Structure formats: structure tokens, C-alpha cells
Amino acid sequence: DTWRYAFEEALDEVQGKFAQKFKEEIEANSDHEVQLFPFGTLGESADIMEQAQSGILQFVDQSPGFTGALIPEAQVFFVPYLLPQDEETLAEFFRTSTAINEMFPPLYEEQGLKLLTMFPEGEVMMTTAEPVTGPADLNEVKFRVMTNPLLVESYQAFGATPTPLPWGEVYGALQTGIIQGQENPAFFIESTKMYEVTDHITRAGHNNFTTAVMANLDFFEGLPEEEQTLINDAIDTAFEYIIEYQEGLTEESLEKIKEAKPSITITTLSEEERQPFMDTAEAVEQEFLEIGGDQAQEILDQLKADLEAVGAES
């Protein structure tokens, strides 16, 4: 059979690299063919999700940044300073987390989706028109975020005016000045040339980008067991591949940005400068408990326990 797999990025960006590895594994170990649909070929993130739910697509990569309305618990990834910065610890967290591997799958199943994996895509950085050293600098800044209610809350708490937009509108909105800031991992800022339309990169260490790969539930459950195993094995291989692929990627991407645009500033905030951003975490966490669905408390508690188990400091 031909299996259709759509994702939110280009073929040579992190989600695309993951998808290519998955395809390679499936095709090497079966007679199936995997057809890849990068960003833009089938619409925005919300469109590919609908197509996966309805079974037009067998596989989809959608980040919790866009899944928040569908699965309110998935907003937990936008509590600031929850995830560790250390990449090895973070990868181990994704491998071993009970919240991710056992508690989220039934929530995705309710939406007709088989959650196959979640993986990190790198430290999230702010890019803005003006320098940022504290929340006061975000005052009056229209800051684009993914369409996730808790992410909106968190940027409000950071002092900005959050503006949720689908990805396809971001470059143009920065260019025309409709928005003056956005956040993303360094590789994405580089590959999508967002540095062309912003002048300052700020590392507040407040988050790491999380994404999720799913299959249409009916499709997955209709497969014989050995084919389900084939898929799970290909996912595991692609997970380890994508962790390794990202080693050093953040720093390399920042260097490329600096080369392409020497006037850009790249600032890592000090502990002291981060403090006011960190101080918002508790209120955002409370908000998550309000809007994060029936299982918000259980998911948050388990996630914290999972983080502790891999030695992440909170």
C-alpha cells in the first residue's frame, strides 16, 4: 500500500528529516510505500490534522502548539521552564515519560488518532524587532504564537501582546510589521530566513519545541500486528536518528544566521534577567489547570514525576 504522511515543515527541516527516516525504514522492511507531504503541499497544520483524522492521511506530524484546542491537556508543553535545557536529559525524558507514553495516547485516541511518538526540536528563542532583556521590552510587542490558548496566556504573562497565527502567515506578518516578534528553534529561524525580518534573537531558556507524530486510529488498528510492530520500530529508529541529527544543530544554525546577517544580535539572558520570566511560570501552570482539560492535574503531576526521574531540575 501507499501510506500518506504529512508534516508541518520542509523536507530538510527536523520534522522532514524524521519523516524521511521513517519512510526509509518502512520501505526497507516491507512492500509499503510512504508518500511524504511537506508543509504547504496540503495546507496548514490544522488542515493536515483534519485530513489525518478523516483518514485521507495515514500519518501526520502536528505539534502540541496547534493541538491545544483539540486535546487541551497537550497545552502542558507551554508551561514555561518546565522542560530541561540539557538535550540528553530531555531525550531521556521523552523516551521514558509515563505521561507521554501512557497518559497522552488515550487522549489522542478520543480524537481518532494513534499517538506514535513525541520528540523535541530544540530550544525555543524569541526573534524581535527590538532587543529584549526583560518583560518590559515585550510591552506593546505584537508577538506571534502558535494557535494554542496556554501559549497565548504565557506570552501575556511575559508582558507581550500575543497574536496566534498559523505558520504560513508569519514571515509576511513580520515583514509588514503586523507583528514584531515570534518564537521558534534556531534551526527553523535559519531555514525559513525569519532572521531577515527580525533583528534580535533572545534566549530566555523558557521552552523547548515539542512535536508529535500520529497515525489515523482506524487505519492503525486495522493493521495486522506485525505491521503495527513495523511502524513502531520505524518510529523508534527515527526517534533515535532525530535526537542524534540535532546534536550541535542549534549552535550551527545560529552561526549560519550570524553569517547571513552580521548585524543580528544573539543574546543569552542571564539568570537574573530570566528571573522575571521564570516568575510567571506558576501563574501559567495554574491557568493550565483551569483550561487543560479533565486530566490536566494528573498529566502535570506525572510529567513532573517523569522529569524528576530523569534528573531534570525544576
Residue 209 in the binding site for ligand 6CS (CB under 6 A):
yes
**Cα angle 111, 18, 219; round to 5:** 35
Burial class of 177 by CB neighbour count within 10 A (0 to 12, 13 to 18, 19+): exposed
For ligand 6CS, which is the closer residue by CB, 38 or 112?
38
Which span (98-106, 153-161, 182-190, 256-264) binds ligand 6CS, by CB under 6 A?
182-190
Residue pair 124/209 in contact (Cβ under 8 Å)? The answer is yes
| Of 185, 124, 183, 136, the residue nearest 160 (C-alpha) | 136
C-alpha cell at 176: 509588514
For ligand 6CS, which is the closer residue by CB, 19 or 296?
19
Residue 167 in the binding site for ligand 6CS (CB under 6 A):
yes
Residue type at position 268: T
Alpha helices in 70-111 (DSSP H): 87-96, 98, 104-109
In the bound complex, which residue of the shown chain has the CB atom lying closest to ligand 6CS?
A: 167
Q: Which of 59, 93, 119, 188 lies at the binding interface for ligand 6CS (CB under 6 A)?
A: 188
Between helices 225-245 and 87-96, what is the axis angle to 10°?
170
Residue 162 in the binding site for ligand 6CS (CB under 6 A):
no
Residue 63 in the binding site for ligand 6CS (CB under 6 A):
yes
Residue 184 in the binding site for ligand 6CS (CB under 6 A):
yes
Residue 87 in the binding site for ligand 6CS (CB under 6 A):
no
Q: Taking the complex as a whole, how short is the minimal distance between the CB of residue 255 and ligand 6CS, in angstroms?
A: 19
Residue pair 121/211 in contact (Cβ under 8 Å)? The answer is yes
Residue 198 in the binding site for ligand 6CS (CB under 6 A):
no
Residue 123 in the binding site for ligand 6CS (CB under 6 A):
no
Residue type at position 282: E
Residues contributing to the site for ligand 6CS (CB under 6 A): 8-9, 45, 63, 121, 146, 167, 184-185, 188, 209
